[in-house]
Amino acid sequence: MTVGGAGALREPLLVELPGARAAFTTRHGGVSEGPYRSLNLGRLTDDDAEAVRRNRELLRAKLGLPLAMIRQVHGNEVCLAKSPTEWGEPLREADGQATDTPGLAAIVLTADCLPIAVGGDGAAAILHAGWRGLAAGIVGAGVRAVRELGAEGPLEAVIGPGAGPCCYEVGEEVHAHFTAYGPSARRGGNLDMKFVARAQLEGSGVRAVTDLGLCTICHEDFFSHRRDGGITGRQAGIVWLT
């Protein structure tokens, strides 16, 4: 697995996976203004809809690939991405997309939840994993979807920018969902979602897991729902076959 494009975090972060490539956008490079400045990709925010449409077109042009979108609901469903999503069409509710279709970029949107890409030779998946999704089993569902699509050989995964254990304070009712992961899943009152995600990926048979180590709450190159009081944009986690 190789990682590139970090630089000053102005460009998408690119990660090579077996048979696939993942990308994680920053908040830079778009046309949105105010709290959504500038590459807000979230249509369900209060940003100007035309600005979001233009931002998605900028992303599509940068990738050179059509985009497949979903509407995330903090569950554990992973759907099959077979064709591009047209602007304005109804979106399927799911929290992950798996694909075996070359030339199609499958996307999840985040603003503190973890974007997780899983790749193997012949299929890949991109997952949206907040604490609810982690508790519900979205990671295992994503790995199974990749295998069911026929991915051969070892799987690898990358955990993209999301709320880190440095900043993500939650109540005891949330920690209670992760007691099985032991003391490493928390730092005081903070939940380490990335530790939990890694444990779930490895427990599902993923051979190698890379965490980019970027916290969206304390890193202002990313949108953060927690930091910005809910008035913020959305960045993307993306995967496609190579």
In a domain, 188, yes or no: no
Q: Dihedrals φ, ψ of 171, to 5°? A: -80, 170
How many Å from the N-terminal Cα to the C-terminal Cα in the chain?
Answer: 14
In a domain, 93, yes or no: yes
Query: What digits encode the pLDDT tens for the residues 86-113?
Result: 999 999 999 999 999 999 999 999 999 9
Range of the domain at 226: 2-163+206-241
Q: Which of 59, 150, 133, 138 is nearest to 99 (CA)?
A: 150
In a domain, 194, yes or no: no
Q: What is the pLDDT of residue 9?
A: 67
pLDDT at 36 over 60: yes
Task: State the DSSP H helix or E strand holding residue 78, giving kind and residue range, or none if neither.
Answer: strand 78-80
Q: What is the pLDDT of residue 222?
A: 98
In a domain, 183, yes or no: no
In a domain, 187, yes or no: no
In a domain, 78, yes or no: yes
Query: What digits encode the pLDDT tens for the residues 157-179?
Result: 999 999 999 999 999 999 999 99
Query: What digits encode the pLDDT tens for the residues 45-68?
Result: 999 999 999 999 999 999 999 999
In a domain, 41, yes or no: yes
The whole-angstrom separation of Cα 79 and Cα 198 is: 22
Q: Are 155 and 18 in contact (CB under 8 A)?
A: yes
Q: What is the pLDDT of residue 6?
A: 44
Q: What is the pLDDT of residue 7?
A: 46
Mean pLDDT of 220-225: 97
Lookup result for tokens 């059509």 = 66
Q: What is the pLDDT of residue 150?
A: 97
In a domain, 61, yes or no: yes
Cα distances from 182 to residues 13, 65, 185, 191, in angstroms, run 31, 42, 6, 11
Lookup result for tokens 């992973």 = 78
Query: What global pTM score does this model have?
Result: 0.96
In one letter, which amino acid is 172?
A: E
Q: Cis peptide leading into 184, omega within 30 of 0?
A: no
Q: What is the pLDDT of residue 10?
A: 77
Average pLDDT in the chain? 96
Mean pLDDT of 137-142: 98
Question: How many domains does the chain divide into?
Answer: 1
Output the domain CATH number for residue 76: 3.60.140.10
